[in-house]
Amino acid sequence: MTTKPRFFYVCSYGGCGSKMLCRYLSNFGTAVHIHSRNPPNMLEKVNDREWFVKGDKIQETEIKNYTFIYIYRDVVKSIISRHWHKKNNNSLKKNLRNIETERKHWCLSNEEFIKSEKDLYGFEEFFDNYLYKKNKNYDIYCVKYEDFFSNIQEFNLTLKIPDNKEKYPICKETKKPFKEDDRNKLNKMYLSLNKKMSNLPFIYINKN
């Protein structure tokens, strides 16, 4: 009996370890990186811009070969990791475009963003779209980045992939310089979102 190839969809809004996870999962099948803000009702293929292709549906008979993962992280740490350390604003602009943030916010400076005291990049909306998505024909495995490296065995068991410790990814994080006052303002801005995250288990499955 021939084993069907596996496909892993890995989505995030950036700064959450999604590329690391794609590299790891590529040991067990084809891993596809996604930045689409809105998950489809019927699972679709993904284009080279890391967005779902509207209307290009995966056949129902093939859905079982796809594993959909949404990886998230304390949003303030994600922002610092993905945005603040970038010297080139074009990199930030590209990321905001990829996660389908409103175009008018692409060129905001970090200072303007904090001063707004609003989630202008729509990170909470992005999170809610995946955690609470209903009326779909696939499951979404919502994975908490902060717990991943100490729970890889559980992750493998849940996703039914081989547990080979030699292939485990290693946590590599560089501490980014950041003003404590700015961090406090961001923590206040994202208090409700981070509370939602803190109340979730390591893996939460949003069933179809």
The CATH number that applies at residue 58 is: 3.40.50
Residue 1 is assigned to a structural domain of this protein: no
Pairing verdict, β 66-72 and 44-46: unpaired
Residue 36 lies in a domain: yes
SS3 132: coil
Q: What pLDDT score was predicted for residue 39?
A: 96
Q: What is the pLDDT of residue 177?
A: 66
Q: Encode burial over 174-200: b for 16+ CB neighbours within 10 A, e otherwise.
A: eeeebeeebbebbeebbeebbeebeee
Instruction: State the pLDDT at residue 1.
Output: 45
With respect to residue 2, please indicate whether it lies within any of the assigned structural domains.
no
What are 45-98's pLDDT values in tens digits? Answer: 999 889 999 999 999 999 999 999 999 999 988 888 765 555 556 677 788 888
Domain of residue 27, residue span: 7-206
- pLDDT confidence of residue 14: 87
Residues 6+ apart with CB under 8 A from 85: 176
Domain-embedded: residue 147: yes
What is residue 52's predicted lDDT score, i.e. its pLDDT? 95
Asked if residue 167 belongs to a domain, the reply is yes
Contacts of 196 (CB under 8 A, 6+ apart): 127, 131
Number of domains in the chain: 1
Using DSSP's 3-state secondary structure scheme, residue 199 falls into coil
Ranges of residues in the chain with a pLDDT under 70 are 1-3, 82-90, 174, 176-177
What are the residues whose beta carbons fall under 8 Å from the beta carbon of 153, sequence distance 6 or more?
163
